[in-house]
């Protein structure tokens, strides 16, 4: 277990790996299924459920044309944003799995391409709720188109999946509290609104920091107290205002 943990944290912590090369190099994996198998082989995916969901949601539908969706690296999606590397999506799904059971509620802040929101929708099912919040309206529109082509399309139609244009630092209070919150962009500190919107027993996974970032796991206990631990070092785009993001160089 410890060995697996250190392997996982080593993979996820490779900020360099995220920006250039991933767990395997080009050519080794050109299909969604073999990408998932690679992540299983490397021990990043351990849960059968996570593997099933990542197999069902074809990452190729979410990466803009010209990208290499099945390679283990982040890809630009426009607007100074990126879709996270497959190993980061897998690691976050693994960390949140117990809080993504059928019927549960999940919030995806900085939903970008909609890939992870779609995975959440499959995990929580039609009785649950998967909510994405993204502040770039064009990305929200594209993410909805992506999801419509994916295995999560029925969840858009039955209303168990929705994506909203909003400042994710405020969460999405209308559907709070959430069993699971994922933040796909790095916050200078954990936004208070997100802690408030976490259900007792709920878990949030959030990258925190500016130059140096840690992926934090925030658990709200049943008595309402909050425990926070560092999972691994990471590199994400900032959770910031729309203006700062669009004018970043």
Rounded Cα–Cα distance for residues 247 and 249 (Å): 6
The answer to the question of residue 134 lying near ligand SAH (CB under 6 A) is yes
Site string for ligand SAH, 219-248 (x = CB under 6 A): ------------------x-xx----x---
CA angle at residue 147 from 131 to 249, to 5 degrees? 80
Smallest gap from Cβ 82 to ligand SAH, in A, equals: 5
Q: Which of 29, 84, 160, 162 is catalytic?
A: 84
- Residue 134 vs 231, nearer CB to ligand SAH: 134
DSSP result, 32-61: HHHHHHHHHHTTS---HHHHHHHHHS-GGG
- Residue 89 vs 220, nearer CB to ligand SAH: 89
Burial tier of 173 (Cβ tally within 10 Å: 0-12, 13-18, 19+): exposed
- Helix-then-strand count for the chain, H and E: 10, 9
* Segment interacting with ligand SAH, rule: CB under 6 A, options 51-59, 105-113, 149-157, 206-214: 105-113
Rounded Cα–Cα distance for residues 159 and 121 (Å): 10
Q: Is the Cβ–Cβ distance between 166 and 219 less than 8 Å?
A: no
Annotation marks residue 84 as catalytic: yes
How many residues bind ligand SAH (CB under 6 A)? The answer is 25
- Residue 102 vs 188, nearer CB to ligand SAH: 188
Q: Which of 112, 128, 202, 207 binds ligand SAH (CB under 6 A)?
A: 112
Q: Is the Cβ–Cβ distance between 59 and 151 less than 8 Å?
A: no
Q: Which of 50, 83, 104, 218 binds ligand SAH (CB under 6 A)?
A: 83
Smallest gap from Cβ 79 to ligand SAH, in A, equals: 6
The answer to the question of residue 84 lying near ligand SAH (CB under 6 A) is yes
The answer to the question of residue 146 lying near ligand SAH (CB under 6 A) is no
Q: Is the Cβ–Cβ distance between 88 and 50 less than 8 Å?
A: no
Q: Is the Cβ–Cβ distance between 71 and 129 less than 8 Å?
A: no
Residue ranges in 172-191 that form contacts with ligand SAH under rule CB under 6 A: 184-185
Q: Which of 87, 135, 155, 235 binds ligand SAH (CB under 6 A)?
A: 135
Q: Is the Cβ–Cβ distance between 128 and 102 less than 8 Å?
A: yes
Residues forming the site for ligand SAH (CB under 6 A): 79, 81-84, 110-113, 115-116, 133-136, 139, 167-169, 184-185, 237, 239-240, 245
Catalytic residues: 84
């Amino acid at each position: 277990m410890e060995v697996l943990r250190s392997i996982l944290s080593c993979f996820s912590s490779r900020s360099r790996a995220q920006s250039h090369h991933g767990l395997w190099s080009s050519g080794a994996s050109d299909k969604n299924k073999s990408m998932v198998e690679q992540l299983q082989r490397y021990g990043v995916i351990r849960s059968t459920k996570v593997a099933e969901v990542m197999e069902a949601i074809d990452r190729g539908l979410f990466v803009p044309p010209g990208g290499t969706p099945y390679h283990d690296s982040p890809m630009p999606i426009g607007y100074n944003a990126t879709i996270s590397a497959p190993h980061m999506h897998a690691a976050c799904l693994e960390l949140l799995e117990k809080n993504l059971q059928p019927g549960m509620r999940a919030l995806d802040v900085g939903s970008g391409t909609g890939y992870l929101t779609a995975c959440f929708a499959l995990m929580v099912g039609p009785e649950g709720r998967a909510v994405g919040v993204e502040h770039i309206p064009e990305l929200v529109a594209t993410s909805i188109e992506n999801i419509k082509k994916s295995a999560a399309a029925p969840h858009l139609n039955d209303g168990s999946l929705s994506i909203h244009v909003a400042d994710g630092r405020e969460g999405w209070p209308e559907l709070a509290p959430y069993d699971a919150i994922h933040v796909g962009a790095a916050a200078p500190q954990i936004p208070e609104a997100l802690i408030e919107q976490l259900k007792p027993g709920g878990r949030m996974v959030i990258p925190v920091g500016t130059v140096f970032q840690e992926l934090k796991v925030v658990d709200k206990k049943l008595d309402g107290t909050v425990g926070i631990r560092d999972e691994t070092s990471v590199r994400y785009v900032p959770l910031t205002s729309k203006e700062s993001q669009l004018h970043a160089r």
